[in-house]
Amino acid sequence: MTSAGDVQLRDVTEDDLPIFFEHQRDPAATQMAAFASRDKEAFAAHWTGILCDETVTKKTVLVDGEVAGNIVGFEHAGRPEVGYWIGREYWGRGVATAALSEFLAQERRRPLFAHVVKDNVASIRVMENCGFTICGEDTEFSEARGEDVEGFELILRADEYHATA
């Protein structure tokens, strides 16, 4: 594995959004995450809502000063959740693990949950490296893949802060 580089988090700015937009347009990423990409209008509306919502923790992931992705903490179905999106050029370098670890050091709400598609082995590994354990399955429909699969997503849970090496 290549070094993650200097991974840092900072608050999201509107200047980050064009990079996030391009990340979510990557067909390999949308297949892996099972999220359909949004057109510019839908993407702008989505992120306008996120940026205006003071209950959402939103961080830009930087690698050596360059925007590599984002990580957000939010309420879903009455419980705190975390999600992230890392640009493909940063995959396989430990960036997601470093970013999630830093996020968890800042976001102390527990338990904290995440949903990951069952076949997204890399994200499952990131979550487990950061102290999440599988606690269930979800059967939500994946519009990105156009299929409804039994136990399509795993639900992961972190009960305490777990510092990674």
Domain for residue 14, yes or no?
Answer: yes
Domain that holds residue 111: 7-158
pTM equals 0.90
Residue 150's pLDDT is 47
CA pair distance 69, 94, nearest whole angstrom = 13
Domain count, the chain: 1
Of the CA atoms within 13 Å of residue 82, those in its CB half-sphere come to 29
Distance CA 61, CA 121 (A): 21
pLDDT for the residue numbered 147: 57
Contact between residue 156 and residue 118 where contact means Cβ atoms under 8 Å apart: no
Helix %, strand %, coil % for the chain, to 5? 35, 30, 35
The answer to the question of residue 19 being in a domain is yes
* C-alpha–C-alpha distance, residues 129 and 1, integer Å: 15
For residue 20, being part of any structural domain is answered with: yes
- Give the closest residue to 113 by CA, choosing from 160, 79, 152, 71: 79
Residue 52 predicted with pLDDT over 70: yes
* Mean pLDDT, residues 59-72: 98
- Give the containing element (helix H, strand E) for 68: strand 66-76
Residue 54 region by backbone torsions, left for phi larger than 0, else alpha for psi between -120 and 50, else beta: alpha
Residue 52 in any domain: the answer is yes
* Alpha-carbon gap, residue 32 to 142, rounded angstroms: 11
| Domain-located, residue 1 | no
Q: What percent of the chain has pLDDT over 90?
A: 76
Q: Is residue 42 part of a domain?
A: yes
Q: What is the pLDDT of residue 160?
A: 81
Q: Which two tokens stand for residue 141?
A: 């429909």
Per-residue model confidence as pLDDT tens digits over 29-50 = 998 888 889 999 999 999 999 9
Is 2 inside any structural domain? Answer: no
Q: What is the CATH number of the domain that holds 131?
A: 3.40.630.30
Residue 35 lies in a domain: yes
